[in-house]
Amino acid sequence: MHALKLYINQYQNDLSVIPLTDISVYDPEIPKQAPMLQVQTPNSDTFHGVPMIWTTFPFFKALNSVSLGLSTTIDELPDGIYRINFAMSPHAQINTDLVHYRVEKLRATALKKASELYLNGTEIDPFGNMKQGKASDILNTVMIGMRSVQQLCEIHGDYTEAANLYDRLNKLINTI
Protein backbone atom coordinates (compact mmCIF):
# COMPACT_ATOMS: atom_id res chain seq x y z
CA MET A 1 0.00 0.00 0.00
CA HIS A 2 1.15 3.57 -0.65
CA ALA A 3 2.41 5.46 2.42
CA LEU A 4 1.42 9.07 1.70
CA LYS A 5 3.22 11.96 3.38
CA LEU A 6 3.58 15.67 2.63
CA TYR A 7 6.25 18.20 3.63
CA ILE A 8 6.30 22.01 3.68
CA ASN A 9 9.59 23.91 3.80
CA GLN A 10 9.20 26.13 6.88
CA TYR A 11 11.75 28.73 5.78
CA GLN A 12 10.91 29.71 2.25
CA ASN A 13 10.38 33.51 2.65
CA ASP A 14 7.78 33.75 -0.12
CA LEU A 15 4.60 35.49 0.96
CA SER A 16 2.60 34.20 -2.01
CA VAL A 17 3.50 30.49 -2.07
CA ILE A 18 3.31 27.40 0.11
CA PRO A 19 5.86 24.90 -1.27
CA LEU A 20 4.24 21.48 -0.88
CA THR A 21 6.46 18.46 -1.47
CA ASP A 22 5.25 14.88 -1.71
CA ILE A 23 7.61 12.65 0.28
CA SER A 24 5.38 9.59 0.03
CA VAL A 25 6.59 6.04 -0.50
CA TYR A 26 4.70 4.50 -3.41
CA ASP A 27 4.15 0.78 -3.85
CA PRO A 28 5.20 -0.04 -7.44
CA GLU A 29 2.61 -2.83 -7.55
CA ILE A 30 -0.35 -0.54 -6.86
CA PRO A 31 -1.55 1.97 -9.48
CA LYS A 32 -1.57 5.64 -8.53
CA GLN A 33 -5.23 6.43 -9.22
CA ALA A 34 -7.54 9.38 -8.61
CA PRO A 35 -5.18 11.63 -6.64
CA MET A 36 -7.03 14.26 -4.65
CA LEU A 37 -5.54 17.30 -2.90
CA GLN A 38 -7.74 19.48 -0.68
CA VAL A 39 -6.74 22.52 1.36
CA GLN A 40 -8.59 24.39 4.09
CA THR A 41 -7.25 27.93 4.39
CA PRO A 42 -7.26 30.11 7.54
CA ASN A 43 -10.70 31.35 8.64
CA SER A 44 -12.48 28.92 6.31
CA ASP A 45 -14.74 26.04 7.27
CA THR A 46 -14.51 24.24 3.92
CA PHE A 47 -11.80 22.45 1.97
CA HIS A 48 -10.92 23.65 -1.53
CA GLY A 49 -9.97 21.03 -4.11
CA VAL A 50 -6.64 21.77 -5.78
CA PRO A 51 -6.43 20.46 -9.34
CA MET A 52 -4.14 17.45 -9.67
CA ILE A 53 -3.01 17.85 -13.28
CA TRP A 54 0.40 16.24 -12.87
CA THR A 55 1.05 12.56 -13.38
CA THR A 56 4.48 12.21 -11.83
CA PHE A 57 4.74 11.02 -8.25
CA PRO A 58 6.24 12.06 -5.92
CA PHE A 59 5.30 15.65 -6.83
CA PHE A 60 6.06 19.25 -5.92
CA LYS A 61 3.23 21.77 -5.89
CA ALA A 62 3.53 25.50 -5.26
CA LEU A 63 0.20 26.39 -3.67
CA ASN A 64 -0.80 30.01 -4.22
CA SER A 65 -3.87 32.22 -3.81
CA VAL A 66 -5.19 31.22 -7.26
CA SER A 67 -4.78 27.44 -6.82
CA LEU A 68 -6.39 27.75 -3.36
CA GLY A 69 -9.38 29.65 -4.76
CA LEU A 70 -8.67 32.79 -2.71
CA SER A 71 -8.24 35.18 -5.63
CA THR A 72 -7.95 35.40 -9.42
CA THR A 73 -4.43 36.84 -9.27
CA ILE A 74 -1.45 35.65 -7.24
CA ASP A 75 -1.51 37.56 -3.95
CA GLU A 76 0.11 37.17 -0.56
CA LEU A 77 -1.27 34.25 1.41
CA PRO A 78 -2.56 34.91 4.91
CA ASP A 79 -0.76 33.58 7.95
CA GLY A 80 -2.68 31.02 9.94
CA ILE A 81 -3.66 27.37 9.97
CA TYR A 82 -3.73 25.45 6.69
CA ARG A 83 -5.14 21.92 6.74
CA ILE A 84 -4.08 19.82 3.77
CA ASN A 85 -5.45 16.41 2.80
CA PHE A 86 -3.90 14.25 0.07
CA ALA A 87 -5.55 11.00 -0.96
CA MET A 88 -5.53 8.33 -3.66
CA SER A 89 -8.12 5.76 -4.56
CA PRO A 90 -9.52 4.26 -2.41
CA HIS A 91 -9.55 7.67 -0.69
CA ALA A 92 -10.81 6.41 2.67
CA GLN A 93 -7.86 4.03 2.98
CA ILE A 94 -4.97 5.84 1.31
CA ASN A 95 -4.67 9.40 2.60
CA THR A 96 -2.64 11.74 4.73
CA ASP A 97 -3.40 14.98 6.56
CA LEU A 98 -0.99 17.81 7.20
CA VAL A 99 -1.65 20.78 9.47
CA HIS A 100 0.60 23.76 8.81
CA TYR A 101 0.65 27.06 10.72
CA ARG A 102 1.98 29.60 8.23
CA VAL A 103 4.03 32.43 9.81
CA GLU A 104 5.64 33.97 6.71
CA LYS A 105 4.13 37.47 7.10
CA LEU A 106 5.25 37.62 10.73
CA ARG A 107 8.72 36.40 9.71
CA ALA A 108 8.92 39.04 6.95
CA THR A 109 7.92 41.76 9.43
CA ALA A 110 10.56 40.63 11.93
CA LEU A 111 13.27 40.53 9.27
CA LYS A 112 12.26 43.97 8.00
CA LYS A 113 12.47 45.39 11.51
CA ALA A 114 15.91 43.80 11.99
CA SER A 115 17.10 45.28 8.68
CA GLU A 116 15.84 48.72 9.65
CA LEU A 117 17.66 48.54 12.97
CA TYR A 118 20.85 47.47 11.21
CA LEU A 119 20.64 50.09 8.44
CA ASN A 120 19.92 53.04 10.72
CA GLY A 121 22.66 51.96 13.16
CA THR A 122 20.33 51.43 16.10
CA GLU A 123 21.80 49.00 18.58
CA ILE A 124 24.78 48.17 16.32
CA ASP A 125 28.22 47.72 17.84
CA PRO A 126 31.43 48.94 16.14
CA PHE A 127 31.87 45.52 14.47
CA GLY A 128 28.48 45.67 12.74
CA ASN A 129 26.74 43.20 15.06
CA MET A 130 23.45 43.91 16.77
CA LYS A 131 24.03 44.83 20.41
CA GLN A 132 22.12 43.12 23.14
CA GLY A 133 19.17 45.36 23.89
CA LYS A 134 15.43 45.63 23.79
CA ALA A 135 15.05 45.40 20.01
CA SER A 136 17.41 42.46 19.55
CA ASP A 137 15.80 40.64 22.49
CA ILE A 138 12.35 41.14 20.98
CA LEU A 139 13.53 39.93 17.57
CA ASN A 140 15.12 36.82 19.08
CA THR A 141 11.96 36.11 21.07
CA VAL A 142 9.79 36.47 17.96
CA MET A 143 12.01 34.22 15.83
CA ILE A 144 12.01 31.48 18.49
CA GLY A 145 8.31 32.02 19.14
CA MET A 146 7.39 31.48 15.48
CA ARG A 147 8.79 27.96 15.60
CA SER A 148 6.89 27.38 18.83
CA VAL A 149 3.66 28.46 17.11
CA GLN A 150 4.24 25.88 14.39
CA GLN A 151 5.14 23.13 16.87
CA LEU A 152 2.10 23.82 19.06
CA CYS A 153 -0.12 23.47 16.02
CA GLU A 154 1.58 20.81 13.92
CA ILE A 155 3.01 18.49 16.58
CA HIS A 156 0.79 19.03 19.63
CA GLY A 157 -2.48 19.95 17.87
CA ASP A 158 -3.06 22.90 20.20
CA TYR A 159 -4.52 25.33 17.65
CA THR A 160 -5.92 27.79 20.20
CA GLU A 161 -2.63 28.24 22.06
CA ALA A 162 -0.76 28.49 18.73
CA ALA A 163 -3.09 31.29 17.61
CA ASN A 164 -2.75 33.07 20.98
CA LEU A 165 1.05 32.90 20.83
CA TYR A 166 1.03 34.16 17.20
CA ASP A 167 -1.09 37.17 18.26
CA ARG A 168 1.24 37.93 21.19
CA LEU A 169 4.31 37.73 18.91
CA ASN A 170 2.65 39.99 16.34
CA LYS A 171 1.96 42.60 19.04
CA LEU A 172 5.50 42.24 20.39
CA ILE A 173 7.19 42.80 17.02
CA ASN A 174 5.16 45.98 16.55
CA THR A 175 6.65 47.45 19.75
CA ILE A 176 10.05 47.89 18.07
Residue 79 lies in a domain: yes
Task: Calculate the average pLDDT of the chain.
Answer: 85
Residue 1 lies in a domain: no
Overall number of domains in the chain: 2
Its pTM stands at: 0.82
Name the residue range of residue 129's domain: 104-173
N-to-C CA span, the chain? 52
More confident residue, 58 or 85: 85
Mean pLDDT, residues 129-148? 76
Domain containing residue 21: CATH number: 2.60.40
Instruction: Categorize the per-residue pLDDT at 92 as very low, low, confident or very high, splitting at 50, 70 and 90.
Output: confident
Q: 84 vs 47, 119, 127, CA distance in Å?
A: 8, 39, 45
What does the radius of gyration of the chain's CA atoms come to, in whole angstroms?
19
pLDDT digits (tens, 9 = 90+) for 103-119: 999 988 888 887 777 66
* CB-count burial class (<10 Å; 0-12, 13-18, 19+) for 4: buried
Residues 15 and 82 in one domain: yes
Going by DSSP bridges, is the β-strand pair 80-88/94-102 parallel, antiparallel, or unpaired? antiparallel
Domain closes at, from 70, 102, 134: 102
